[in-house]
Structure 1
Amino acid sequence: MIQTRVKKTTALLVGAATLGMLLAGCSAPGQNKGTSASNASGPIKIAIVDAQSGQLSSLGAWEYKGVKLAFDEQNAAGGIDGRKIEYTLYDDQGDPTVSTNLARKVASDGNIAMMGTAESADALAMAPIMAQNKIPMITSGQSPKLGQLHNSFVFLNSPPSTAFDETLAKYLVTKKGYKSIAMISNNGAYGAGEHDAFLAALKALGVTPVADQTVTPDQKDFSSALTRIRDAKPDALFTGMEEVETGLVVKQARQLGIKAVIAGGAPAGTPVYVQTAGVANAAGTIVSTPYLGNDTNDQTKKFAAAYKAKYGEDGEFHGAKAYDGAQILIQALKKSKVASGSKLADAIRSITYDGLVGHFEFDANGIGVHDTLIGEIDSSGNLVPAS
């Protein structure tokens, strides 16, 4: 295994990023040290950019572990053409400003590809700089805006919000028969994408939400928004926000006497959500996800066993899709003989892969998986297939 780790305070990070900007400025646009990494010797340098601190650190930790598992397995098997993968972890702190600085540092450090980020806002901030430096990035972000960039260096390792929310809306309206549905989402990149995708899906089914409340990503008290939702007496409440905030919203909703069925995307299927909301409050939550659990099939069982052996904890959706993304990059590196720049991006786009979260076949906008499934949080706090 070859691994380096970068984790700095904001002040040091900005200083290092400024140096990276100066170094990158010495090269012509679209060039960086990574372009020399396609030589037939030496380690293959890959960046992993994810929050390791801050409220979104759980997302970053899951993604890092999934990527690390795949890269360590490949290195243990001899690497790629005898070359080991050297990966460096950069802490973006869940902050788009930090991520923007890190994008330049990733380039100046000579990385030929990037895994991350797990946060849509950070991925959107990094994407133009990565494209300028011709560094492909495989992100766990789900905002539809990532595909709308039409950026040939951006790839998603799971479906976008539109797929999650179209599946969820159809299940709630046509399968469960709910017509009185309220919404609460945040105005961050992920939350805004969730809001717009779910609202459009409801409208396509002829349903208008009885309440539609927006909060900020760092908000902790939701009493005002939830009081309006309570007054609307919905049968179901859609949550469009990340894990911790979703949990806080649901906990406070139950305290205010809101009895609506909770429904959401991937964040509502995670242990962090269940722990934050409380098992009793989270039970019955309907979840749209492409990964229903570790016991789904032989492939997920193998991943879960390896994950458990390496980290001493159970694998989940975010780690699984990060593992898929890393496996796709490994295949592209093999296929391209460790190319970089546009050749590596083209190689990634050419990969078809049956992964843990579905069948990958990338379109021109970097979307590889287009379908999700419906699960439910049971009385023990576990995600199980919905009945």
Structure 2
Amino acid sequence: MVQRRITRTATLLAGAAALGMLLAGCAAPGQNKGAAESGGTGPIKVAIVNAQSGQLSSLGDWEYKGVKMAFDELNDAGGIDGRQIKYTLYDDQGDPTVSTNLARKVAGDGNIAMMGTAESADALAMAPIMAENKIPMITSGQSPKLGELHNPFVFLNSPPSTAFDETLAKYLVTTKGYKNIAMISNNGAYGAGEHDAFLASLKALGVSPSADQVVTPDQKDFSSALTRIRDAKPDVLFTGTEEVETGLIVKQARQLGIDAIIAGGAPAGTPVYVKTAGTANAEGTIVSTPYLGNDTNEKTKKFAADYKAKYNEDGEFHGAKAYDGAQILIQALKKSNVATGQKLSDAIRSITYDGLVGHFAFDANGIGVHETQIGKIDASGNLVPAS
């Protein structure tokens, strides 16, 4: 009888120990594994989530390289109190469904912060899961809906579409005096944000678009929409679409005889846009951007030189703003003694930083930069300051 009691007690103790070990390996709701592992020693785990395949892979590649360069510089200099940033790249394929699944994997893998994504729709899909797991994310998405989430764990590394399009509309209407302005945008998260922001900016200036066409993000033939735009004979054609689609639209617009000045946000200032549209077709495009090029000042020149040395490629806006975002995270980690969760989020929000794309001072909605400038694509396909 005594032996049986001893055996039963030993079994219960073993079971309790096993349960304790199981619970220790599981994160409580709202707490990711990274928070439990962050401690004061060992690598600092950070996720980089961006498209490495698919039509938006150029964005993901630029962003990854900008973040990687900042983290590599830190690690080469000894890290943070001897701790290295261990970054892992996740390919979201530019697909919100894939991004949703990756959000859970990012949390499960013990990352304490996330850089990405470059796509607004993917960032919007990931944001609730990041908040649930208390993982700050610094995204390159520009949809105004990101700020409208009022999510304390979402931060933008450049201005939202509203800033891009308000600046652009004022330049076109007030500075240049254009009134006959047509619009073409897509109904994806980025395109919808661009459409609504630019339309609101035009209306605030007393201008209604002479044509307003909406296409899908994966569309390749724009003849129907462009024919309606051609009938309006616009002086300016605003494009609210991503790089490749913007290039295809402009190329087809020129083929249909539309000679309007092209105007748009950040996608229209990239090499991918110029290559897709053709340099002759892209020449004269007016671009609203916070990054007018690598020769803007000493800071952008150094970034461009370092980027060229590391990747044998020219730096550009997306890589620059990703680099800024990574530098802000680094400062927050240093300031907070590598905090996690809400404390890390609060540390990011407290950072003010003069970056490559402007002065960062985050508001309650995670928006740090609020201004853009106006550039123009020259005859060589380069973005230069507009007059």
How many angstroms apart in 2 are the aligned matches of 1:235 and 1:96? Answer: 36
Provide the secondary structure at the position in 1 that maps to 2:381: coil
8 Å CA contact 1:92, 1:102 repeated in 2: yes
Contact 2:187/2:215 (<8 A) preserved: yes
1:296 aligns with: 296
Unaligned runs of 5+ in 2: 1-22
- Cα contact 1:236–1:260 (8 A) shared by 2: yes
In the alignment, is residue 221 of structure 1 matched against residue 221 of structure 2?
yes
Task: Tell me the distance in 2 between the aligned counterparts of 1:27 and 1:70.
Answer: 30
Q: How many angstroms apart in 2 are the aligned matches of 1:185 and 1:364?
A: 29
C-alpha distance in 2 between matches for 1:112 and 1:244: 33
Q: Which residue of 2 aligns with 1:189?
A: 189
Instruction: Indicate if the aligned counterparts of 1:24 and 1:32 stay in contact, CA closer than 8 A.
Output: no
**Separation in structure 1 between the aligned mates of residue 227 and residue 80 of structure 2, nearest angstrom:** 57
Question: Residue 310 of structure 1 aligns with which residue?
Answer: 310
Deviations 1:239-282 (A, max 9, x none): 00100000000000000000000000000000000000000000
Measure, in 1, the Cα distance between the counterparts of 2:369 and 2:44: 27
Instruction: Indicate yes or no: 2:90 matched with 1:90.
Output: yes
* Pair 1:126 & 2:126 matched: yes
- Aligned CA distance change for structure 1 residues 25 and 261 (closer, same or farther; 3 Å): farther
Query: Is 1:141 aligned to residue 141 of structure 2?
Result: yes
Within 1, Cα distance between the matches of 2:368 and 2:281? 34
* Distance in structure 1 (CA, Å) of the matches to 2:63 and 2:50: 7
Deviation at 1:72, TM superposition (A): 0.1
What is the correspondence of 1:148-227 to structure 2 with a 5 Å cutoff?
148-227=148-227
**Aligned match of 1:383:** 383
**What is the match of residue 7 of structure 1?**
none
Q: How does 1:1-387 map to 2 (within 5 A)?
A: 26-387=26-387
2:66 and 2:177 map into 1 onto residues whose CA distance is 37
**Residue in 2 aligned with 1:14?**
none
Contact 1:360 1:369 in 2 (8 A): yes
The amino acid that maps onto 2:238 is F
Post-superposition offset of 1:29:
1.6
5+ residue gaps, structure 1, are 1-22
Q: 1:310 to 1:228 in 2, by over 3 A?
A: same
Q: What is the rounded CA distance, in whole Å, between the counterparts of 1:29 and 1:256 in structure 2?
A: 56
Larger-gyration structure (1/2): 2
Deviations 1:46-78, CA, capped at 9 Å, x for gaps: 000000000000000000000000000000010
Q: How far, CA to CA, are the matches of 2:227 and 2:208 in structure 1?
A: 19
Aligned length: 365
2: CA distance between counterparts of 1:235 and 1:177?
A: 10
Displacement of 1:36 in angstroms is: 2.3
Structure 1 residues 379 and 104: alpha-carbon distance in aligned structure 2, compared to 1, 3 A threshold = same
Q: Distance in 2 between matches of 1:153 and 1:37?
A: 19
Q: TM-score, normalised by structure 2?
A: 0.93
Conserved? CA contact 1:321–1:356, under 8 Å = yes
Could you tell me the TM-score, scaled by structure 1's length?
Answer: 0.93
Contact 1:24 1:107 in 2 (8 A): no
Q: Distance in 2 between matches of 1:117 and 1:241?
A: 17
Contact 1:230 1:258 in 2 (8 A): yes
CA distance in 1, matches of 2:366, 2:30: 20
> Counterpart of 2:127 in structure 1: which amino acid?
A
Aligned identity (percent) is 87
Deviation at 1:24, TM superposition (A): 12
Give, as a single letter, the amino acid of the residue that structure 1 aligns with 2:209.
P
SS of the residue aligned with 1:158? coil
Task: Tell me, in whole angstroms, the C-alpha distance in 2 between the residues paired with 1:40 and 1:82.
Answer: 10
Measure the CA separation in 2 of the matches of 1:201 and 1:222: 25
Residue 26 of structure 1: how far off its partner (Å)? 4.5
d(CA) in 2 for partners of 1:122, 1:26: 27
Runs of 4+ deviating beyond 2 Å: 23-28
| Residues 48 and 116 in structure 1, CA contact (< 8 A), matched pair in contact too | yes
Give the Cα separation in 2 of the matches to 1:40 and 1:343.
15
CA offset digits 1:180-230 (Å, max 9, x no partner): 000000000000000000000000000000000000000000000000000
3-state SS of the aligned residue for 1:55?
coil
Secondary structure of the 1:229 match is helix
1:128-157: per-residue Cα shift (whole Å, max 9, x none)?
000000000000000000000000000000
The answer on whether the counterparts of 1:147 and 1:365 sit within 8 Å (CA) in structure 2 is: yes
In structure 1, C-alpha distance between the alignment counterparts of 2:340 and 2:112, rounded to whole Å = 6
| 8 Å CA contact 1:185, 1:191 repeated in 2 | yes
Measure, in 2, the Cα distance between the counterparts of 1:25 and 1:374.
Answer: 52
The question of whether the paired residues in 1 share the 8 Å contact of 2:26 and 2:33 is answered with: no
CA distance in structure 1 between the partners assigned to 2:83 and 2:340 by the alignment: 15
What is the deviation of 1:27? 2.9
State the AA in 2 paired with 1:309: A
Whether the 8 Å CA contact 1:24–1:108 is kept in 2: the answer is no
Q: CA 1:252 to 1:341, structure 2 compared with 1: closer, same or farther past 3 Å?
A: same
